[in-house]
């Protein structure tokens, strides 16, 4: 099969389901184009049945025995291993627990413990705020002797890695611009200076083929509810390279991270593996929804999804250019496929109004202050037709100035 080594047009290989078949597995609203899978992934059709079974059979009927007989107790690790396949991690290094924010807290504290002579958490300006907020909270808790957050422009990040830096924390795909960081290069720069690296994969898990183990990444976190389609509030995941397991010294030392939770011993002793990142009882209903959603990824390689994603974002950018839209909207996303994730961001001075007018026209996108309209493309269910509809609708919104409509003045809590 010599042709398999050639670049393809984003079609799955013959062993993989077609993109039509993959899209069919999702319950998408009629007559609308959903381009917000980077904020809340769509629901696979089979998820409600699985949750019904969990509620009526496992909870109502099997009751407490379900922790063993229905495998509830192992769900964080089982689901973690399934995500591990998508991010290039061998089993036993990924666990589904808590939120990204809480996982960052645990891993940053662990990183500082692993680098006792160093105190700096280095990150890039303009990264997702919660990552910095958590570092600030940790710095306040530990004191400035032990922990300091340092933020520099992305272009200066690698040069700023010095002997004080315990850990570099960075998102692989920037939530505002959609820019894709060079994971192998930044990881190597951190390691060359004796620093650890913590990657936030919130906007890349499930759409970018990465090899956490192959690159030698130390730690990572990511979202269950974005491109992994785990449902609103789905648990996040945390990756810890096996070389640090057994030294898992993190401060949220709850009973389910204990070596033997059901011994109920007086003092904490961490579990030997990634299980020590678990603090309390997992949210089984949410985890089951995430676990079920991951079935959609079973027969398809992430590299195939990445190719499809590149087709979608490239077609969109080409369409914007051809429609003359890049004169009025500023393209914030790199116009080079290798440097972008699965979203395209446009800045427009009436960005909020543009977003609302697009939603009114049936193209669901979202807004990030102060002026950014984000178009997220899920390779599992978005199509080239979706892309074309989005371009046509945006052209009409801009041409007819729908963004000035008085209906779009109000801004609700969640944008």
Ligand X SMILES: *Cc1c(COP(=O)(O)O)cnc(C)c1O
Residues that bind ligand X (CB under 6 A): 99-101, 128, 130-131, 171, 175, 200, 202-203, 223, 236
User: For residues 262 and 283, what is the distance between their CA atoms, to the nearest angstrom?
Assistant: 19
Calculate Rg over the CA atoms of the chain.
22
Q: 75, 98, 96: which is closest to 288 by C-alpha? A: 75
Is 128 a residue of the active site?
A: yes
User: For residues 90 and 290, what is the distance between their CA atoms, to the nearest angstrom?
Assistant: 20
**Choice between 96 and 317, CB closer to ligand X:** 96
* Intra-chain end-to-end CA distance of the chain, in Å: 48
Q: 12 and 4 in contact (C-beta within 8 Å)? A: no
Q: Which residues 6+ apart lie within 8 Å of 49 measured at CB?
A: none
Q: Considering the complex, what minimum distance in angstroms separates the CB of residue 59 from ligand X?
A: 25
Helices (H), 180-301: 183-192, 212-215, 284-293
Q: Which residues 6+ apart lie within 8 Å of 388 measured at CB?
A: 315, 319
User: For residues 293 and 51, what is the distance between their CA atoms, to the nearest angstrom?
Assistant: 11
Is 200 a residue of the active site?
A: yes
**Choice between 124 and 397, CB closer to ligand X:** 124
Q: Considering the complex, what minimum distance in angstroms separates the CB of residue 40 from ligand X?
A: 10
Is 225 a residue of the active site?
A: yes
- Catalytic annotation, pick one of 26, 34, 105, 128: 128
Q: Considering the complex, what minimum distance in angstroms separates the CB of residue 210 from ligand X?
A: 15
Q: 232, 149, 161, 159: which is closest to 195 by C-alpha? A: 161
- Catalytic annotation, pick one of 26, 105, 225, 237: 225
Strand order in the sheet with 330-331: 330-331, 343-347, 372-376, 366-368
Q: Considering the complex, what minimum distance in angstroms separates the CB of residue 223 from ligand X?
A: 5
User: For residues 48 and 51, what is the distance between their CA atoms, to the nearest angstrom?
Assistant: 5
- Catalytic annotation, pick one of 374, 375, 377, 386: 374
Q: Considering the complex, what minimum distance in angstroms separates the CB of residue 232 from ligand X?
A: 11
**Choice between 238 and 397, CB closer to ligand X:** 238
**Choice between 33 and 173, CB closer to ligand X:** 173
Q: Considering the complex, what minimum distance in angstroms separates the CB of residue 19 from ligand X?
A: 25
**Choice between 152 and 323, CB closer to ligand X:** 152
Q: Which residues 6+ apart lie within 8 Å of 226 measured at CB?
A: 37, 38, 39, 40, 41, 202, 203, 205, 206
User: For residues 57 and 79, what is the distance between their CA atoms, to the nearest angstrom?
Assistant: 20
**Choice between 124 and 305, CB closer to ligand X:** 124
**Choice between 100 and 354, CB closer to ligand X:** 100
**Choice between 100 and 135, CB closer to ligand X:** 100
* Residues β-bridged to residue 120: 148, 165
Q: Considering the complex, what minimum distance in angstroms separates the CB of residue 86 from ligand X?
A: 17
Q: Considering the complex, what minimum distance in angstroms separates the CB of residue 128 from ligand X?
A: 3
- Catalytic annotation, pick one of 25, 82, 106, 226: 226
* Residues β-bridged to residue 179: 340
User: For residues 167 and 287, what is the distance between their CA atoms, to the nearest angstrom?
Assistant: 29
- Catalytic annotation, pick one of 200, 291, 366, 386: 200
Q: 202, 165, 181: which is closest to 38 by C-alpha? A: 202
Q: Which residues are tagged catalytic? A: 128, 200, 225-226, 374
């Amino acid at each position: 099969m010599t042709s398999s080594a050639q670049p393809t047009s984003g079609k799955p290989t013959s062993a993989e389901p077609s993109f039509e078949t993959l899209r069919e597995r999702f319950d998408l609203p009629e007559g609308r184009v959903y381009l917000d899978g980077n904020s809340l992934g769509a629901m696979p059709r089979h998820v409600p049945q699985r949750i019904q079974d969990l509620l009526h059979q496992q909870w109502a009927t099997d009751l407490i025995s379900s922790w063993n007989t229905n495998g509830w107790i192992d769900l964080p690790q089982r689901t973690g291993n399934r995500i591990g396949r998508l991010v290039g991690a061998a089993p036993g290094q990924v666990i589904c627990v808590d939120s990204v924010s809480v996982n960052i807290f645990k891993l940053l504290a662990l990183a500082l413990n692993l680098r006792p002579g160093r105190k700096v958490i280095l990150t890039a300006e303009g990264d997702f705020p919660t990552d910095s907020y958590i570092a600030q909270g940790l710095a306040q808790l530990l004191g400035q002797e032990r922990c300091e957050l340092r933020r520099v422009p992305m272009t200066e990040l690698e040069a700023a890695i010095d002997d004080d830096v315990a850990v570099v924390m960075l998102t692989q795909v920037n939530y505002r611009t959609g820019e894709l960081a060079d994971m192998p290069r930044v990881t190597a720069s951190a390691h060359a200076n004796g620093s650890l690296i913590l990657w936030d994969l919130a906007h890349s898990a499930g759409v970018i083929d990465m090899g956490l183990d192959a690159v030698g990444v130390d730690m990572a976190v990511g979202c269950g509810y974005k491109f992994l389609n785990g449902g609103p509030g789905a648990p996040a995941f945390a990756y810890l390279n096996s070389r640090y397991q057994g030294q898992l010294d993190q401060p949220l030392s709850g009973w389910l991270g204990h070596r033997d939770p059901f011994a109920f011993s007086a003092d904490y002793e961490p579990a030997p593996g990634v299980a020590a990142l678990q603090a309390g009882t997992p949210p089984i209903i949410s985890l089951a929804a995430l676990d079920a959603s991951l079935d959609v990824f079973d027969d398809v390689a992430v590299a195939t999804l990445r190719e499809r994603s590149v087709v979608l974002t490239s077609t969109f950018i080409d369409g914007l250019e051809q429609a003359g839209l890049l004169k009025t909207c500023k393209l914030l996303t790199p116009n080079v496929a290798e440097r972008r994730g699965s979203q395209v961001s446009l800045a427009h001075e009436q960005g909020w109004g543009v977003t609302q007018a697009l939603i009114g026209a049936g193209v669901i996108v979202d807004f990030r202050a102060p002026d950014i309209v984000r178009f997220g493309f899920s390779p599992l269910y978005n199509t080239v037709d979706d892309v074309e509809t989005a371009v046509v609708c945006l052209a009409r919104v801009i041409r007819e100035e729908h963004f000035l409509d008085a209906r779009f003045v109000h801004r609700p809590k969640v944008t």
